[in-house]
Amino acid sequence: MTRQMRLGVFVQAAGHHVSAWKLPDAESGGENFDLIRRIAQTAERGRFDLLFMADGLTSELDAHPSTIVRLEPLALLSALAMTTTHLGLASTASTTYSEPFHIARVFASLDHLSHGRAAWNVVTTSYARSAANFNRGSHPEHDLRYEIADEFVEICKGLWDSWSDGAFVQNKATGVFADPARMHVLDHKGTHFSVKGPLNVSRPPQGHPVIIQAGSSEPGQELAAKSADIVFTAQGDLVEGQEFYRSLKSKLAKNGRQPESLHVMPGVFPIIGRDRTEADAHYRRLLELTDLPGALALLSDRLGHDMRKYELDGPLPDLPLSDQLRSRAELLTALARRENLTVRQLALHAGMARGHRVIQGDPVQIADQLEEWFVGGAADGFNIMPPWFPTQFDLFVDHVVPELQRRGLFRREYEGTTLRENLGLARPPNRFEAG
């Protein structure tokens, strides 16, 4: 096959399952750099496209064990850039609680430090409680957050174009360090931001760091169709995945883009055993380990309503639309209705993968399930979310990846040195030169 599957590893260092940190072979800790470094090196050994670090701006005692404390991701990825050579390095950064100049600068810096492997997961920050940690007053409503994000991303792209390639001629004979004709001042004055520029970092090796977007609501899809190179999404079954894939790809043409310019990578939570019996045993063990209060807290976050006040063994009640994770609330609600799940059962599911697709089996069966979505028009690749680290991720790299390679679905060697090259994405032209 000429079309190749894209793979990322979504690192939550205590595992994605809310209670898998209790297992004897689980290592944990959002501040455990040695573990995260080993995960990155394992991902690179498996020829993964990228490693992804999520982020949040609050903490609570009932937060997921992987997120209650965690290292600031841009600092962490800068350290990982020194221990890897090909792996893409992706981090979340908020457009609601950041400034465009700062975000453009830190991601350009990471791209230089990694020689072209930086990626920015653009988020609008769903949780209203984040506002209390910033001098911003109230939390903007859902659609306004995306309006702000649209302008924010465009400013960052403009700032990354502040300097043409080769602007710093450093001509000792003439005494010219920087060619003034190759410096471009953005001078943006918009609805939400005023940013003059230029950026005090030269143009990134990739032109622009890879842009990732994770919102699946209608405003999220519109932003992704305009600006994103990768979309992280959560889809419950093949039909849902195919519908989302078609919907998003159909929005690209009006932005002058081709379908292959955007990779759709749903999150997948694989439970791997030597055979299906062992995988099923792992699944049952995870259910037994689940901390129900913690799972209910995760479900409450995803639905935007406190589910602890409802009857656990009753059906999911009709709930008003949340202003938090709108698409995730719709996905979980649809799952509960489709499978007649009680609140308890839905909470146990959320404690697994927070609404992402759960698959289980031996390595061949895991590869079968990934291939079905990839060839069936539901995905260009997957964001792998191991239940616990490092054992389950090691199994994926050592046994599932070779099976995908045997089928011709996944690379055996990296195609280039930058993330864009490995993803098959063009380096964006400088907007000022194009004029």
The domain ranges of the chain are 6-275+355-430
Buried b (16+ CB within 10 A) or exposed e, 320-350: eebbbbbbbbbbbbebbeeeebbbbbbbbbb
pLDDT higher than threshold 60 for residue 390: yes
Q: What is the pLDDT of residues 41-52, one digit of tens each?
A: 999 999 999 999
C-beta separation of 16 from 290 below 8 A: no
pTM for the model: 0.93
Buried b (16+ CB within 10 A) or exposed e, 229-250: bbbbbbbbebebbbebbeebbe
Q: Which band of pLDDT confidence, cut at 50, 70 and 90, is reported for residue 324?
A: low
Q: How far is it, in rounded angstroms, from Cα 54 to Cα 103?
A: 15
Q: How far is it, in rounded angstroms, from Cα 100 to Cα 105?
A: 8
The percentage of the chain sitting over the pLDDT mark of 90, rounded to a whole number, equals 77
Q: How far is it, in rounded angstroms, from Cα 334 to Cα 239?
A: 13
pLDDT higher than threshold 70 for residue 279: yes
Q: Which band of pLDDT confidence, cut at 50, 70 and 90, is reported for residue 435?
A: low
What CATH class does 6-275+355-430 carry? alpha beta
Query: What residues contact 24, with CB distance under 8 A and at least 6 apart?
Result: none
Closest C-alpha among 254, 253, 287 to residue 271? 287
Q: What is the pLDDT of residues 60-107, one digit of tens each?
A: 888 888 888 999 999 999 999 999 999 999 999 999 999 999 999 999
C-beta separation of 370 from 266 below 8 A: no
Containing 220, the helix (H) or strand (E) segment is helix 218-227
Q: How far is it, in rounded angstroms, from Cα 189 to Cα 420?
A: 30
Q: What is the pLDDT of residues 148-168, one digit of tens each?
A: 999 999 999 999 999 999 999
CA dihedral 190→194→200→205, nearest 10 degrees, is -20
C-beta separation of 163 from 68 below 8 A: no
Lowest mean per-residue pLDDT among 121-130, 223-232, 320-329? 320-329
Q: What is the average pLDDT score of the chain?
A: 93
Residue 191, token pair as written in the block: 């609805």
pLDDT higher than threshold 60 for residue 381: yes
Q: Which band of pLDDT confidence, cut at 50, 70 and 90, is reported for residue 370?
A: very high
Q: What is the pLDDT of residues 183-242, one digit of tens each?
A: 999 999 999 999 999 999 999 999 999 999 987 788 889 999 999 999 999 988 899 999
Res 89: pLDDT: 98
